[in-house]
Structure 1
Amino acid sequence: MSKTALDKDLRKLDRMEAATHATSRSLAPLGIAVVFLVGAAAWTSVTFQGGPYGYLVVISAVIVGYMALNIGANDVANNMGPAVGAKALTMGGALVIAALAEASGALLAGGDVVSTVANDLLRADTALEGRSLVFVMLAALLASALWVNLATILGAPVSTTHAVVGGVVGAGIAAAGFGVVVWPTIGTIAASWVISPVLGGIFSALFLALIRKTILQRKDRIAAARCWVPILVAAMAGIFAAYLATKGLRRVWSPGAGLVLTIGLGCAILVWLAARPWIRQRSRGMENRKRHVSRLFRLPLVCAAALLSFAHGANDVANAVGPFAAIVAVLQNGGAAAGELELPVWVLAIGAIGLALGLALFGPRLIRTVGEKITKMNETRAYCVALSAAITVLFASALGLPVSSTHIAVGAIFGVGFLREFYSNRRLQSELVPVRAIGIDAGRLNASPEEAVAKYRRRERRRLVRRRHVLQIVAAWVFTVPATAVLSGVLYLLLAALML
């Protein structure tokens, strides 16, 4: 009996030790995040020389760091999720590549769109200036960060750009009424709710249909791959070269349209010449199966994910530091209205480090949602998603349409998923001739009524996109701007009551 009691006690101790270890592992990311925020506050207090308003900049820096953490945790999944879902990258490899690419993009090319976030949403000719503008931006940052954090907890990828826009609009209305908002800008942003996912879905479905037609449905898939994969990879290289020239490197270089086209064509030709022997060598001895042919897209997919992360860091760092730049500009002028915004490197550094840390500490959950829970990914489908994201941004920029990288990527995943579902159900439908059997027409089918019902049920189960996730994500998209606007307005009124 004593031995049995001792064994039970030892088992209890083992369970307690395991539970303690699991708890410490779950708390470790929070601890690291807190250390980062404390470090951002200390760094800002030493770097910024703002006189009596320095404490507001320190508070703002903490909120900026919190926002950057949430952007890294939520937005980066759009770029790495498909590659992880396709097993082209492990979770660890994706986190390392994305963290380096995001931080590099934010530091080297970030900040070009800061003036849009900080200035273009609110009218400059209103009474909203000085400390009121500071509190508007503080409320906007905190509200958008809280909303993105909630979306991350719920596993819903949302647009951090829209969250910041909603925050600035809500706080601006609370401070100076509806007339302070530049409503045409808000209208174009609202239009992107529909434009972004639709364009992403259309382009990704078209690319997948092209690959199916030219490679996967051919009798000799290897020969078709040797011909078409270099062309597709070259197209990807040209598109990404133009993408980076126009979107990802605008802070350090701004080429004209003719030069961008030349760069894209030049990169496409060089990559096509390099890809032909590489694809031929990789395809030697390969089985003539779809799964094996899809592996030829693995390396291009990894490169595409890294380039998307770089461009994302360059562009979306403004979501965190844009309002902060306005705060710093106001307080450096002693509380007067901000003029032309100049973004200090130390501000970009807080955003860059926050993006990388947020991805590493809290990103895996959203990466799994985007890459695995919406629809099943392989290398070919993930490649179509990445290529669609780049070309959609270029296409929308040429038309002057504001788009969300989050909406584009998720819409592209929906596009390949629904196309697969369409093809699968069309093939199954061809096996079913209208018959009447147990509520189903069963007269002309060359099968028993039981077989007809089985085929019908089989067709009904071919839903390759999880509807629950579609509804959840779309609901989060719709509520992002109004929810952050209301929350930001409330936070502004609280700040004004306490500090004005």
Structure 2
Amino acid sequence: MVLTLLICVIVTALVFEYINGFHDSANAIATVVSTKVLTARAAVIYAGLLNIAGAFMGTHVASTIGRGIVSTESVTQGVILCALLSAIIWNLITWYYGIPSSSSHALIGGLMGATISKAGYHVVHFDGVTKKVLMPMVTSPLIGFGIGFLCMVLILWLCSRANPNTVNKYFKKLQLVSSGIMALSHGSNDAQKTMGIITLALVSYHTLDTFEVPYWVILGCAVTMGLGTMAGGWRIIRTMGSKMIKLKPVHGFAAETSAAAVILTASHFGIPVSTTHIISTSIMGVGSTRGIHALKWGIVGNIVMAWILTIPVCMVIAAVLYRILPV
């Protein structure tokens, strides 16, 4: 029975990883598709392959998810299963409405909610949650906005005397590079979260004595996320690529470069940031250089509301699932 539950957890984790891939595919390709630098199909394949490569860039974020959020002694296969199911439910809801919410925060909220439902609040590492989740949840989008704004201002200053058509031509080529780096950074952060969850399940089952991510887990999560990205979450791609603001290649390059810099830095320090939040606010920062009215604030408001709700809603869903499922 316990082995069956472990297998169920691993399969569900890979399902979450696949959904994470197509839910967050917009992070890497929304701008490059909206600016018509790549076709949609070419963009998702390009991003999917680089997502796979990015997943092999380290396991610092996986360690934070597996050891830094809740006490591992209080985690069971049932807790992990309910956490994954809550994140999947939230991802599908936000995908249906085309809202770019955070898969990372959905998973973290689910893990906290299910663990609290089982063992109480004392098992949550609130210091780690504050430093590695809540503070970055607030600061990383602001940093993404600021860097996006400054990057765009710098580009405008450097290209102020250049022919607009020439600028557009060069930045179409440069955006291929920036979107690739963005996809790589997405894989380096988001794929690791599921690695951490599967490894936590293996530790809970006593298959592993210490928290070290096995190579087969890295490979499985990398390939699954890449395939999910190749499937493409077109509803969210449309929201990020055109509904918030109309983008040109120069804007896409500035937004992707800014977001990738923030995400890769976070991955290096083991901080599970929301790649969705960062690329969204980088786009907002870049767009704001065209004036405050360039952004469609109704769409932005819906996105921010989803960000605020993700962790508490997933906590509640996971807690309820733990109470009603026979796990």
Match of residue 324 from structure 1: 198
Specify whether residues 391 and 313 from structure 1 end up closer, same or farther in structure 2 by C-alpha distance, changes over 3 A only.
closer
State the 1:402 CA deviation.
6.1
Specify whether residues 316 and 394 from structure 1 end up closer, same or farther in structure 2 by C-alpha distance, changes over 3 A only.
closer
- Alignment equivalent of 1:407, drawn from 258, 277, 283: 277
Aligned equivalents of 2:189, 2:121: Cα separation in 1: 28
Q: Are 1:195 and 1:403, in contact at CA under 8 Å, matched by a contact in 2?
A: no
- Alignment equivalent of 2:38, drawn from 79, 89, 92: 89
Over residues 392-440 of structure 1, what are the superposed CA-to-partner deviations in whole Å (9 max), with x where a residue is unaligned?
3466679997642221110011111122124xxxxxxxxxxxxxxxxxx
List aligned pairs for 1:157-306, cutoff 5 A.
157-188=100-131, 189-215=133-159, 217-218=160-161, 221=162, 288=163, 290-306=164-180
Give the TM-score taking structure 1 as reference length: 0.61
State the 1:54 CA deviation.
2.2
RMSD over aligned Cα atoms? 2.2
Over residues 45-85 of structure 1, what are the superposed CA-to-partner deviations in whole Å (9 max), with x where a residue is unaligned?
xxxxxxx5321122112211220121111222112111111
Over residues 121-168 of structure 1, what are the superposed CA-to-partner deviations in whole Å (9 max), with x where a residue is unaligned?
1135xx625xxx221111111111211121111111122211111011
State the 1:302 CA deviation.
0.8
2:40 is the counterpart of 1:116: no
Match of residue 150 from structure 1: 93
Aligned equivalents of 1:62, 1:384: Cα separation in 2: 38
Aligned equivalents of 2:9, 2:69: Cα separation in 1: 19
State, as a whole percentage, how many aligned pairs show the same letter.
31
Q: Are 1:73 and 1:152, in contact at CA under 8 Å, matched by a contact in 2?
A: no
Q: Are 1:83 and 1:301, in contact at CA under 8 Å, matched by a contact in 2?
A: yes
Residue identity in the other structure for 1:325: T
Q: Are 2:63 and 2:211, in contact at CA under 8 Å, matched by a contact in 1?
A: yes
Match of residue 259 from structure 2: 389
Instruction: Provide structure 2 residue ranges, at least 5 long, that are not aligned to the other structure.
Output: none
Aligned positions, number: 326
Match of residue 309 from structure 2: 479
Residue identity in the other structure for 1:181: V
Match of residue 136 from structure 1: 79
Q: Are 1:141 and 1:320, in contact at CA under 8 Å, matched by a contact in 2?
A: no
Specify whether residues 205 and 154 from structure 1 end up closer, same or farther in structure 2 by C-alpha distance, changes over 3 A only.
same
For residue 109 of structure 1, give the secondary structure of its aligned residue in structure 2: coil
Residue identity in the other structure for 1:344: P
For residue 210 of structure 1, give the secondary structure of its aligned residue in structure 2: helix
Q: Are 1:159 and 1:405, in contact at CA under 8 Å, matched by a contact in 2?
A: yes
Instruction: Provide structure 1 residue ranges, at least 5 long, that are not aligned to the other structure.
Output: 1-51, 222-287, 423-462
Aligned equivalents of 1:122, 1:68: Cα separation in 2: 21
Match of residue 379 from structure 1: 249
Q: Are 2:53 and 2:184, in contact at CA under 8 Å, matched by a contact in 1?
A: yes
> Which protein is bigger by CA-based radius of gyration?
1
Over residues 213-232 of structure 1, what are the superposed CA-to-partner deviations in whole Å (9 max), with x where a residue is unaligned?
221x32xx1xxxxxxxxxxx
State the 1:477 CA deviation.
0.3
Residue identity in the other structure for 2:98: G
Specify whether residues 397 and 351 from structure 1 end up closer, same or farther in structure 2 by C-alpha distance, changes over 3 A only.
closer
List aligned pairs for 1:425-444, cutoff 5 A.
none
Aligned equivalents of 2:266, 2:142: Cα separation in 1: 12
For residue 469 of structure 1, give the secondary structure of its aligned residue in structure 2: helix
Match of residue 419 from structure 1: 289
Aligned equivalents of 1:72, 1:400: Cα separation in 2: 20
Q: Are 2:61 and 2:272, in contact at CA under 8 Å, matched by a contact in 1?
A: no
State the 1:341 CA deviation.
2.0
Over residues 319-371 of structure 1, what are the superposed CA-to-partner deviations in whole Å (9 max), with x where a residue is unaligned?
223222111222244xxxx6422333333333223212322224233222211
